[in-house]
Structure 1
């Protein structure tokens, strides 16, 4: 995997996909569709779009192909009887609800597989993904050119069909990118800005997907190189049935199962009492020191490690690397200096009380038994006069902005034991419904797929500009706009520059893709979005049927 300075033109595709010229007025059945090669032209992944079209139709089509592959992976894993010791026969214990029990069983297989994928992604992220700059320090945050040093990273990763990762790792990476603020923070924290600048490898991945069976098949050499360099198997299911976990107290390794236990006696509580590392009620004892290990204690251990990194290496705490709008701004470059003070407050607070927190969270002392104990202690800390004076230079109670950044810092530990800013297992599962909807409508096999893609990219341009011009309002995407929006986010650097350009009253913010907007009425917000779209297009209809037939009717004639 090479890293180079500056942008390089993408290589042209080495093959041409035949176009099926024979089409009917209405699409064939989905059963027939699965046997038909995609009628796509040679997709162009060059720099063909600009501010007039922030995402290209070809990228949207390549994204659709990838989503179809992910949905097939989910289906195959979920229905593979017996993997992880989870058998369909357990559904027979619920004769009145066998189908519901089978759904729970298949969901559980997918959740365990996804947890294993996050573990593999973590190793790939740290061992194989290139580092383009040192990890960020508190001193970097003082630099007036902090934002520019991040955004203007001039290194790119040369992705090819010979160095792409396995599909499960691509899946986690894809979900990670679809949380733009979290992904940017993690890239800054760990010096992975070349990956942030390069974005998702659309062309390399597209070259590895067969257009008839929609299977992801990198070369044998690619698979062997991956296994040789990272010491993992190419296929997630061929990896170890257990995870090696270091004890938070004695640091000795322990082999723990990914899942342990059965479906249980109630479907409402299915698998809730399982005690494997991928289970909600994970619990084990260290083989060496007999320390009880569970998810909550691993969250505390993660916090303790971040505190240690701040005190010894000056690495800022998570949640205090970008301001409230997702912008990594330097101290003297902020129009409102309070933004910088709010942003760095959590790290300055932890610096002030760090040694006390290391003592409190020391597993040998057993004072902090779970994440609730940590939260309680931190809430006491933010009300402590001496701590606030040390962190702020003088005694002042917390401002709303400081409390928000404090909350963001602590949110990195609640329900999240990974090295990243968010729970990636939850992120993958949360995006499952959208992926299924995309696959079910199956634009890929539509004879007008390219025209559909051109239409939705233009529609997205109007949508994102409405959102930029109305930062205090909630603009709700339709399904086709959602596809373009996600595709845009898979180019993090371009997405950042487009959404932070300050269209409205100088307001700059990195727009997150909020799948469940809070504190708003979705119906009212959708009506408002439709009205704004109508005005922007002089009568355009925002919400339209997107089936093949309607898409074909909207397509221009020959």
Structure 2
């Protein structure tokens, strides 16, 4: 496609004003009586996909501005992240905690309204049903959630497989299939102040939706700023309920935060149980206890997570993340011996046996991480499966405990929002594309580049992680704001599987992934992937001078012609250059190999320099966060992660460290086939060469080799999984 003309000036207001409603994917969804069918055995043409339009992306940028305006209003300052003081960071973290609670109230009330019954037996095939739930769709068209709730919804959508897993296991898959309504949201945002102003009828309908579910009048307040005026956020009190018996866990309601850092949104949370019955049950087996929650006299976050695991292990629904890693719907079926049900059942049986062998006092005193580690004496493959499904419980921020009967979302949504803010700040202040006089040309070019990127991303031959530039990541984010449409496009691509966008990738992976992406993009499309004149990118080019000698020859005629083209490009600015590597999802993993790799990583070194001025994401300040956004895994948990967290991109059914030992073979051909060894290469993105080892003959990438091969490293790549989902059950599927 020819490059766009740069002489036409259209600001974002003109673009949105001149856009027909059908220019928005969410509007097109709303006027269809059925979901577009998914033909996962076919490869559809790019023009028939649900790729974001220019109007979608402009509306998305406008929404990011609204998030920035909300934060400025809450904190009373427009300062960027690194310039905020610890008290401001803490206040914002507590505000987001409350926003997550309000989001859980919203989706829980919506499920109660939309679904006649809620089943604990998951029918994953409902995802493919084309008939819409008319009651749900009608309500969604008549309401508009508050901006803080939308902010949480938005961040959650950018973890597509986790989003899918959460609403599949809680029998609310219709919500997972509904797009963020950008066509209506942007109309509520002021074009100058970016304040969020919702029509009164939408506000009234939203309140009416919540009233049958929640009793506290403060929970019915629509505007988050009005909520702050009613009760100062740090003074807000919440009750905590047991997920099994639904009874209160504490004698009194607890504050979200305290000066002694013992509130529910504080890392040192502590509250006394409703009753201490140690004497009554000292000599009794667990079976005679009305509910396991009665065994705990003092609650903290670790005890709550332990209670959540106990509830899940003894419940009917699969364990958290089972459908993220082993779904047969959004992933290619590689191994029929592992379905979400079978994987969960195996791990549940191991934990139950361990629990039954624990003495009462040992159970009460043992931390969750030590409990998980103590489930031992398993074959290596089963041990890795156990680590894979249980380690996520260590990072839970169980805000849903404060909502009686709330949808069970353990994911740290506070961390999701906070990690996204790095990207939001880039968009709003650093590059500020929304106010560029060349926004139309910029996004037109970015759209073309994203088509190329998506082609690379969904290739059946891809075996390493791809790292997007900022402009491509913006397109990728916008694409994911309709979970169903995004997975439809992935399933109808050559890889025929859902591509995850994980927001927790260790920093050391970014260099390898970015270099691989740059080379592949140049090879396939004969275009530069990214030319940037900012400090960190100059360092990266300088570190590989021989690879960029073309750009160092200042006298080269070719270089002058290319440079002239680059400087005229609408994506180029003197401050930020062409298009920056997107690092907002980077985190620090405390394993020895990851730490060693970071010391050698240019990207990690650049982030470390910024970290020295940031109290927000990187400093391990224990007084701020329940789960540190930039360091979600502490050293005590690192043994459960090999040398990686999940990767951003997967073309198999999972993407976990060391492959979890659940797939067979030492190499992978892009179709999921393997030939010996213990794991088959990197699964369509995988971890690439990011954690060392395993990427060459003898290291496991050819037949007979051990370890992770096929371009993968010991840190991971391909996943096992697949198989059939659980059966039976009704509940809130997709029916009319």
When the two structures are superposed, what TM-score results if normalisation uses the length of structure 2?
Answer: 0.56
Measured against aligned partners, the alpha-carbon deviations of 1:466-497 in whole angstroms (never above 9, x if no partner) come to 12225321211111001000011111111112
Q: Summarize the Cα distance change of 1:379–1:153 in structure 2 as closer, same or farther, 3 Å threshold.
A: farther
Q: How does 1:12-23 map to 2 (within 5 A)?
A: none
Distance 1:201 1:548 in 2: 36
Distance 1:100 1:199 in 2: 33
Distance 2:509 2:69 in 1: 34
Distance 1:48 1:225 in 2: 24
Name the count of aligned residue pairs: 463
Aligned to 1:266: none
Aligned to 2:432: 442
Measured against aligned partners, the alpha-carbon deviations of 1:154-178 in whole angstroms (never above 9, x if no partner) come to 3263576740111111111111111
Aligned to 2:447: 457
CA contact (8 A) 1:534 1:542 kept: no
Distance 1:357 1:426 in 2: 30
* Long gaps (5+) in structure 2: 1-5, 26-44, 277-295, 399-407, 535-565, 574-736
1:544 to partner: Cα distance: 5.4
Distance 1:358 1:178 in 2: 39
Aligned to 1:150: 127
Aligned to 2:479: 488
Aligned to 2:70: 73
Aligned to 1:58: 55
Query: What SS does the aligned partner of 2:240 have?
Result: strand
- Structure 1 counterpart of 2:240, from 234, 240, 245: 245
1:71 to partner: Cα distance: 1.2
CA contact (8 A) 2:15 2:55 kept: no
Worse overlay, 130-139 or 440-449 = 130-139
Q: How does 1:47-196 map to 2 (within 5 A)?
A: 51-52=46-47, 54-79=51-76, 103-129=85-111, 131=114, 140=123, 146=124, 148-155=125-132, 157-158=137-138, 162-196=142-176
Measured against aligned partners, the alpha-carbon deviations of 1:174-212 in whole angstroms (never above 9, x if no partner) come to 111110110000111112222222211111212211222
Aligned to 1:223: 203
CA contact (8 A) 2:64 2:428 kept: yes
Query: What SS does the aligned partner of 2:337 have?
Result: helix
Q: Summarize the Cα distance change of 1:26–1:47 in structure 2 as closer, same or farther, 3 Å threshold.
A: closer
Aligned to 1:476: 467
Distance 1:138 1:533 in 2: 44
Distance 1:47 1:335 in 2: 37
Distance 1:500 1:109 in 2: 42
Q: Summarize the Cα distance change of 1:510–1:124 in structure 2 as closer, same or farther, 3 Å threshold.
A: same
Aligned to 2:396: 416
Distance 1:196 1:549 in 2: 41
CA contact (8 A) 2:263 2:270 kept: yes
Q: How does 1:39-54 map to 2 (within 5 A)?
A: 40-46=16-22, 51-52=46-47, 54=51
Query: What SS does the aligned partner of 1:276 have?
Result: coil
Distance 1:209 1:512 in 2: 30
Query: What SS does the aligned partner of 1:259 have?
Result: coil
Worse overlay, 403-412 or 472-481 = 403-412
Q: Summarize the Cα distance change of 1:44–1:301 in structure 2 as closer, same or farther, 3 Å threshold.
A: farther
CA contact (8 A) 1:343 1:405 kept: no
- Structure 2 counterpart of 1:319, from 315, 318, 321: 321
- Structure 2 counterpart of 1:301, from 298, 307, 323: 307
Aligned to 1:8: none
Q: Summarize the Cα distance change of 1:434–1:100 in structure 2 as closer, same or farther, 3 Å threshold.
A: closer
Distance 2:275 2:14 in 1: 56
Aligned to 1:89: none
Worse overlay, 125-134 or 191-200 = 125-134
Q: Summarize the Cα distance change of 1:485–1:247 in structure 2 as closer, same or farther, 3 Å threshold.
A: closer
CA contact (8 A) 2:120 2:171 kept: no
**1:274 and 2:261 are equivalent in the alignment:** yes
Distance 2:392 2:257 in 1: 24
Alpha carbon RMSD of aligned pairs, Å?
3.9
CA contact (8 A) 1:416 1:423 kept: yes
Q: Summarize the Cα distance change of 1:101–1:382 in structure 2 as closer, same or farther, 3 Å threshold.
A: same
Q: Summarize the Cα distance change of 1:206–1:447 in structure 2 as closer, same or farther, 3 Å threshold.
A: same
Distance 2:21 2:480 in 1: 16
* Long gaps (5+) in structure 1: 1-22, 28-32, 82-98, 141-145, 262-272, 385-396
Distance 2:94 2:510 in 1: 32
Distance 1:247 1:220 in 2: 36
Distance 1:150 1:523 in 2: 36
Aligned to 2:375: 381
Distance 1:287 1:101 in 2: 42
Distance 2:385 2:117 in 1: 24
Distance 1:548 1:210 in 2: 32
CA contact (8 A) 1:318 1:409 kept: yes
Distance 1:411 1:526 in 2: 28
Measured against aligned partners, the alpha-carbon deviations of 1:207-256 in whole angstroms (never above 9, x if no partner) come to 21122221111112322333344252113334651111236897355311
1:373 to partner: Cα distance: 3.2
Measured against aligned partners, the alpha-carbon deviations of 1:354-383 in whole angstroms (never above 9, x if no partner) come to 48737959xxx454336x634433444352
Distance 1:525 1:353 in 2: 37
Worse overlay, 428-437 or 527-536 = 527-536
Measured against aligned partners, the alpha-carbon deviations of 1:269-317 in whole angstroms (never above 9, x if no partner) come to xxxx61111111111223654921111111111112222322xxxx222
Q: How does 1:361-400 map to 2 (within 5 A)?
A: 365-369=360-364, 373-383=367-377, 397-399=379-381
- Structure 2 counterpart of 1:258, from 243, 256, 259: 256
Query: What SS does the aligned partner of 2:148 have?
Result: helix
Aligned to 1:551: 570
Worse overlay, 47-56 or 449-458 = 47-56
CA contact (8 A) 2:159 2:503 kept: no
Q: Summarize the Cα distance change of 1:502–1:454 in structure 2 as closer, same or farther, 3 Å threshold.
A: closer
CA contact (8 A) 1:133 1:193 kept: no
Q: Summarize the Cα distance change of 1:103–1:304 in structure 2 as closer, same or farther, 3 Å threshold.
A: same
Q: Summarize the Cα distance change of 1:43–1:216 in structure 2 as closer, same or farther, 3 Å threshold.
A: farther
Distance 2:183 2:21 in 1: 6
- Structure 1 counterpart of 2:522, from 530, 534, 539: 534
Query: What SS does the aligned partner of 2:22 have?
Result: coil
